[in-house]
Amino acid sequence: MPLLNESASGVYVIAATPFSAIGELDLQSADRMVDFYLERGADGLTLLGLMGEAPKLTAEESIAFVDRIVRRVNGHGQIIVGVSSPGFASMKSLTASAMDAGAAGVMVAAPGHLRTDDQIYSYFENVAEALGPTPFALQDYPLASGVQIAPNVILRLAAALPTFVMLKHEDWPGLAKISALRAANKQGARRLSILTGNGGLFLPEELARGADGAMTGFAYPEMMVGVVRAHRAGDEERARDIFDAYLPLARYEQQQGIGLAARKYILARRGAIASPALRKPGPTLSPADIADVERLIARLEKRLREIGDG
């Protein structure tokens, strides 16, 4: 598999981390989940993301999980591994393990104490030095980190660091940031791949501004795939029809707190993983939450039939 580079595009699904009902890492479900994502058109997978259950894994489990996923994907997509760490020594060590296992690149978020432009710039300069030749995505997620990265800081980093190849854009929704970066690209600034997160909640607008695709974990990857494909085909109205059909459920899944539990509930319901369990401690869905999700799925399926996508 080639390394990650600036031309990455399409849908990179943020993969769930499957556990058994008693909290053991479920590698058989990991296989099933890979098949589920790839069959629905994923171009890549992102593992051990910041907001998932990665921090609940031991270092050994993390490596075992990456290894299993890479083998199952077997070259049918790129693997990006989240390696954000409180220190560079462990970031280097995680990166080495991930790349050895066959990942295409890694992803690093800004730690929450960064404030000034120069602090942010220096941090990622140090990241690039620590990672050596490994290409990386910068995860820009102010809602979670509190760190706001100005477009010109991203452009300075892009100009200085050849291994910085992708922006995981999750600045809620930050449409103006995408526009600013793409305008700079037209003026000759080095062009990064931009994949967008936020549960896909702004995907049509993000693509229209110049994003190259989505990187998010919504339990219906066919939404992101469908929207990206319709957008590429120039059929904006079709892209919106698909998007709008899924939006009520995507919105529900994007809740702080129980959103991840809802996502795993749906993945289990769809057969992608064996158990919806989160490893403890973590929220569980109440009967009322489950009723919400079931109603949203029923309405989604009805709406998909109406727009001829069921």
Which CB sits closer to its own copies, 89 or 233? Answer: 89
Which CB sits closer to its own copies, 188 or 281? Answer: 281
Segment contacting its own copies (CB under 8 A): 4-12, 147-155, 189-197, 211-219?
147-155
Which segments of 72-132 are extended strands (E)?
Answer: 78-82, 105-109
Query: By rule CB under 8 A, what string of x and - marks binding of each residue 164-193 to its own copies?
Result: --------xx-xx--x--------------
Cα gap 249→290, rounded to integer Å: 12
Which CB sits closer to its own copies, 40 or 209? Answer: 209
| Secondary structure of residue 13 in the 3-state scheme | strand
Query: By rule CB under 8 A, what string of x and - marks binding of each residue 197-226 to its own copies?
Result: ----xx--x--xx-----------------
User: Both tokens of residue 300?
Assistant: 């989604």
Burial of 94 (0-12, 13-18, 19+ CB in 10 A): buried
| Secondary structure of residue 107 in the 3-state scheme | strand
By CB under 8 A, the residues from 102 to 141 that bind its own copies are: 112, 115-119, 122-123, 126
- Options 233, 299, 301, 305; binder of its own copies; rule CB under 8 A: 299
CB of 30 to its own copies, least distance (A): 17
Which CB sits closer to its own copies, 3 or 208? Answer: 208
234 binds its own copies (CB under 8 A): no
Q: Taking CA 163 as the corner, what is the angle to CA 60 and CA 232, rounded to the nearest 5 degrees?
A: 95
Closest CA to 158 of 125, 129, 183, 133: 125
By CB under 8 A, the residues from 235 to 274 that bind its own copies are: 236-237, 240, 243-244, 247-248, 251-252, 255-258
- Options 6, 31, 35, 61; binder of its own copies; rule CB under 8 A: 61
Tokens 């809620």: give the residue.
172
Which segments of 117-224 are extended strands (E)?
Answer: 136-140, 164-169, 193-196, 213-216
Which CB sits closer to its own copies, 67 or 171? Answer: 171
CB-side neighbour CA atoms (13 Å) of 106: 25
- Options 5, 20, 152, 275; binder of its own copies; rule CB under 8 A: 152
Which CB sits closer to its own copies, 270 or 299? Answer: 299
Cα gap 15→283, rounded to integer Å: 18
Q: Taking CA 50 as the corner, what is the angle to CA 176 and CA 266, rounded to the nearest 5 degrees?
A: 95
Contact call for residues 91 and 108 (beta carbons, < 8 A): yes
Amino acid at 13: V
Q: Residue count at the site for its own copies (CB under 8 A)?
A: 66
User: Where does residue 41 fall: left (phi above 0), alpha (psi -120 to 50 degrees), or beta otherwise?
Assistant: left
Amino acid at 288: A
309 binds its own copies (CB under 8 A): no
Binding residues for its own copies, per CB under 8 A? 53-59, 61, 85-90, 92-93, 112, 115-119, 122-123, 126, 142, 146-150, 152-153, 172-173, 175-176, 179, 201-202, 205, 208-209, 236-237, 240, 243-244, 247-248, 251-252, 255-258, 279-281, 286, 288-289, 292, 295, 299, 303
